[in-house]
Chain A
Amino acid sequence: MEVAVKLARAFLAAGAALALLAGCGGSDDGSGDGPTEVVFSYLWAGAEAQALEQVIADFNASQTKIRVKGVSNPDFQKQLAAMSSGKGSFDISDHFGNGVGAWASKGILAPLDEYIAKDGFDTADFVPSALEQMKYEGKTYSMPIALHTQMLLYNKKLLSEAGIAAPPQTTEEWAQAIAKLTKRDGDKLTQLGYANAEIGTSLTTLGYAFGGEWFDGSGKATPNNPGTVAAAKFYVDNVPGKYGVGAVRTFTSGFGEYASPQNPFYVGKVATVIDGEWQAAFIKKNAPQLEWGVAPIPYPASRPDLEDTTQVTTSTLFIPANAQHKAEAWEFMKYLLGKEAMVKFSHALANLPARTSLLGDPAYADLPQFDAWLQALKSPNAKALASTPWAAQYSTDLNSAFDDIAQMRKTPEQALAAVAEKTGSYE
């Protein structure tokens, strides 16, 4: 009997120790001496993360009460999972503007209005459309740290080799250019005039460029309209439909990583792409020798009113509802949103600043081609996806439809009509 009692005691003790450990997990709340540690988990990685760490170091040096620890975690799924526990593993993080509604509606994000009001933080300087996207049912759940626009990037050398003097202005000119810029060796492709349109942002941008809309004014999803179909058709007709799905698939399967010197645009495998302003920094770092240019996204010749169409996306900062140091996280967020830090950060990453007063800042002058993306922000045809509770579902369905279209398993009409059918059950 003695043995059993001893054993039972031992297990009780072990159990108590376990409970204690569980209770203590991450309760390093800094209530003692020294600064409070605020964990900043961000989606940026590589060179962008390094630039961000500089801004964090500046903040840590500027005061003694809060110590921010940056953690690079470029993984949507991990980020979300971390916010589902009782006690959060990070206090501040970043995401994209069209995801605000989804997370706010589920109680994942902490509202910021209280902090904004308490500190009298002036939000009037932020680009209005971006700020509007940060709200859900009247409350502010995120703040814009940077904006992005999409433009047509072209390889100058490849264009001049093909005898094309200027970048295409209309989609008709672009179609001709794609044909001239695509090269084959036997039935194998060695160069494509335009590629990877099925990437979400590229095809949604193209949809806008053809006069399509992905949402109606009331925030309902409208994936299937003449403009979106025309955009998808444009890609199919000029790339996979023309050169063969198999040939395009084989060629694109050999493409290198996006954020590396092997990016197919940098190495001349692709002559034109639709991409964002961060390429000003990416190309400088990964392909300094590349001769490249930026042009507005082409519009159909019959629709001059669609000139200068672009898609605006927003990088946001937010505090999760389960954050353990919300007040301190807000202090840090306020710092990042300040003019000085925002210029430094957006310049290092070559992102567009979210403050109106910084749009003409001379600090950006040394970034190659950056001005083109900055100007696009002012275009009357700058469009943005609505922030809805079901944004992630819509984006998953659109991406799989874009894949069906690019691989020609379905016609654009069929694929987009199928998404339209699904949108009815979004909630």
Chain B
Amino acid sequence: MSKVTARRQLQGLAFASPWLIGFTLFIGGPIAASAFYSFTDFNLFQSPDFVGLDNFRAMLDDERFTRSLLNTLYLTVVGVPLGLGLALLVALALNADVRGRALYRAVVYLPTIIPIVVATYLWRWLLNAQYGYVNRIIGVFGVDGPTWLEDPAWTKPAVVLMGLWTVGGTAVIYLAALQDVPAERYEAAALDGAGAWARFRYVTWPALTPVTLFQLVVGVIAGMQIFAQPYLLTQSRLNQAAGGPDDSLLTYGTYVFQNAFVHLKMGYASALGWVLFLVTMAITAVLLLSSRRWVHYGS
């Protein structure tokens, strides 16, 4: 290595050091620690006891573990594609050449800037079975709305519905991608006699696939970690551990939290965390592998 390259290396590292130091201290360290704790019985207060694979074995018999994993998969598998689909529709609508377009775009984006805690408390009231606006609107069509937050069959749809409220963020990214599609392609397609659907199917959609893949992966990772909404919706007096009616809103994230900080089973919680990491990795890998079949890059 020449002197110049060495200096450049050092300079580069120096510039990256705030992040490097921060990562090592606040992320890398805890990750390593949780890997160690996952093989121990640790209550946060007394020194950990090594228990080998006991924590991982315990998951096999833990019905709340299975429950939380299934609840989380439900929210992800239903919520993420639905969110992407709706965001795409919204983006297509916002891309139309109408008056006041900028205003509509701003309005659609607005909900995403509302803090998640505020939004969740707001939805708690909107979804109230007796007085909530959601059921009042449903009532206009002569249908009795469900008891969203008390009926185990409806709590997860309620969370999915809340998620759809913030599709504006995704829609704006889709909108940017839509505007990147070269106009010539539409012209060429129109000359070839392509209708609206054919233009979308063969011109627009292929151009949107890279963005879709990105949003899908990010959405799935976020979905598997969902915590704030179910945590806030199931809160009871004095904030005792809760999973909603019939544990229907016990998500993986809330279960990890409860084990770590309510039942003080930090060892088990660490093991749960690692399993979530592996599951998320596996799903992401499958998505990336599948992308070869449906994602089109460049022209």
Contact = CB atoms under 8 A, between A and B. Distances in A.
Interface of A: 1, 3-4, 7-8, 11, 15, 43, 74-78, 80-81, 83-84, 106-108, 246, 249-254, 258, 321, 392-393, 395-396, 399-400, 403-404, 407, 409
19 contacts: A4-B10, A7-B11, A11-B14, A43-B238, A74-B239, A75-B238, A77-B241, A77-B262, A108-B45, A250-B130, A252-B150, A253-B129, A392-B263, A393-B263, A396-B258, A400-B246, A403-B245, A404-B246, A409-B152
B106 to A, nearest CB: 35
Contacts of B253: none
Nearest to A199: B237
B238 A76 contact: yes
Contacts of A11: 14, 17-18, 21
A253 B147 contact: yes
Interface in B221-248: 237-243, 245-247
Given A76-B238, A106-B46, A253-B149, A3 B11 contact: yes
B261 interface: yes
Contacts of A407: 152, 245-246
A168 B131 CA distance: 33
A86 B45 CA distance: 10
Contacts, number: 92
Interface in B137-196: 147, 149-152
Interface residues of B, number: 37
Contacts of A395: 240
A409 B246 contact: yes
Contacts of A403: 245-246
Contacts of B46: 106-107
Contact of B239 (A15, A76, A249, A392): A76
A13 B196 CA distance: 62
A76 B240 contact: yes
B150 A249 contact: yes
Nearest to A8: B14
A212 B118 CA distance: 43
Nearest to A390: B263
A249 B151 contact: yes
A4 B128 CA distance: 60
Contacts of B17: 11
Interface string B42-59: 011110000000000000
Contact of B130 (A81, A83, A254): A254
A400 B21 contact: no
Most B C-beta atoms less than 10 A away, residue of A4, A7, A106: A4
Contacts of B128: 253-254
B264 interface: yes
Contacts of A4: 7, 10-11, 14
Given A8-B14, A246-B147, A403-B245, A76 B21 contact: no
A84 B263 CA distance: 13
A41 B264 CA distance: 20
Nearest to B149: A253
Given A77-B262, A392-B241, A254 B129 contact: yes
B158 to A, nearest CB: 12
Contact of B243 (A1, A80, A321, A400): A400
Contacts of B21: 11, 15
A106 B129 contact: no
Contact of B262 (A106, A107, A321, A392): A392
A109 to B, nearest CB: 10
**A-B pairs, 9 with minimum CB distance:** A254-B130, A253-B129, A7-B14, A75-B239, A4-B10, A84-B44, A107-B45, A106-B45, A249-B150
Nearest to A43: B238
B143 to A, nearest CB: 14
A81 B247 contact: no
Nearest to B144: A250
Given A76-B239, A392-B262, A253 B11 contact: no
A74 B147 contact: no
Nearest to A200: B240
B133 to A, nearest CB: 14
Contacts of B149: 253
Contacts of A43: 238
Interface in B210-225: none
A1 B3 CA distance: 9
A280 B15 CA distance: 64
Contacts of A84: 44-45, 261
Contacts of B239: 74-78
Nearest to B130: A254
Contact of A76 (B130, B247, B262): B262
A8 B240 CA distance: 48
A392 B263 CA distance: 7
Contacts of B150: 249, 252-253
A10 B7 CA distance: 17
B261 A321 contact: no
Interface in B7-28: 7, 10-11, 14-15, 17-18, 21
Nearest to B12: A4
B14 A396 contact: no
A177 B71 CA distance: 41
Contacts of B242: 399
A316 to B, nearest CB: 14
A267 to B, nearest CB: 13
A4 B4 CA distance: 12
B17 to A, nearest CB: 5
Contacts of A258: 237
B14 A250 contact: no
Contacts of A81: 261
Contacts of A254: 128-131
B268 to A, nearest CB: 12
